[in-house]
Amino acid sequence: MGEIREKMLAEKERLPIEQTKEDYLNYMIQSSVLECEGFDLLAMGRPEGPGCYCYVNNLLRKIIDTLAANYRYVVLDSEAGLEHLSRRTTRDVDLLITVVDPTLKGILTAKRIKDLTRELGISVGRVLTIANRIPKDLEEKVSAEVKARGLELIGVVPEDPLIEQFDLEGRPTYQLPPNSPSYLSVKSILGLLGIPQLKTSVQFH
């Protein structure tokens, strides 16, 4: 999606005269959706370059809102940090999940994100926290720190060597075998949230 935005800004004077900028963006985004078995994917692709992005970003948000209406569940995976809140990339969501690692800095950032949603008046139904890549001997300590900051912990995803292995091999995590620790943990979290498990025909080796 980042490439589409950059292309439009670079060629805005040469866009087809029969198309508005919104129509052009809408067509390009629809064409960029990767359709997979059980889910579709739209990747951001690249960060912003120099220049003003306010207008085109507003158009992007409007088009994404329209596109999202075609799906029962929409997951927006934002970069770590607070920028997506201040830029209103995250807005009008039913469930905001903050993901923390086994560090106090990560936990405090999650607390700040929760506070910012209120301060900025962002419409969020519920804020939950997942502790990720947690060593077994730190699970109890991390859980206690998360709860002490007023965060609602929905689950803990343990360290899983298969994640690193799959990343090195360029394999997607949805191909993890059903007995991997991270798979079992995420499956449990989805069950608590009432989200059905994705069914694919992926063969595990």
Question: In the structure, what pLDDT confidence band is assigned to residue 2 with cuts at 50, 70 and 90?
Answer: low
Interatomic CA distance for residues 41 and 44, integer angstroms: 10
Residue type, 203: Q
The mean pLDDT of 166-188, rounded to a whole number, is 94
Higher-confidence position of 119 and 45: 119
Closest CA to 42 of 3, 81, 97: 3
The mean pLDDT of 90-110, rounded to a whole number, is 92
- Region of 80 please: left (phi>0), alpha (psi -120 to 50) or beta: beta
The answer to whether residue 203 scores a pLDDT higher than 50 is no
The mean pLDDT of 173-198, rounded to a whole number, is 92
Q: Is the pTM higher than 0.85?
A: no
The answer to whether residue 47 scores a pLDDT higher than 80 is no
- Long-range Cβ pairs for the range 73-78 (8 Å, 24+): 73/195
Share of residues in the chain with pLDDT > 70 (%)? 77
Question: In the structure, what pLDDT confidence band is assigned to residue 166 with cuts at 50, 70 and 90?
Answer: very high
The answer to whether residue 28 scores a pLDDT higher than 90 is no
- Long-range Cβ pairs for the range 62-66 (8 Å, 24+): 62/22, 63/22, 63/25, 63/26, 63/29, 64/29, 66/26
Mean residue pLDDT across the chain: 83
Do residues 64 and 30 make contact, with C-beta atoms less than 8 angstroms apart? Answer: no
- The 8-class DSSP code of residue 12 comes to G
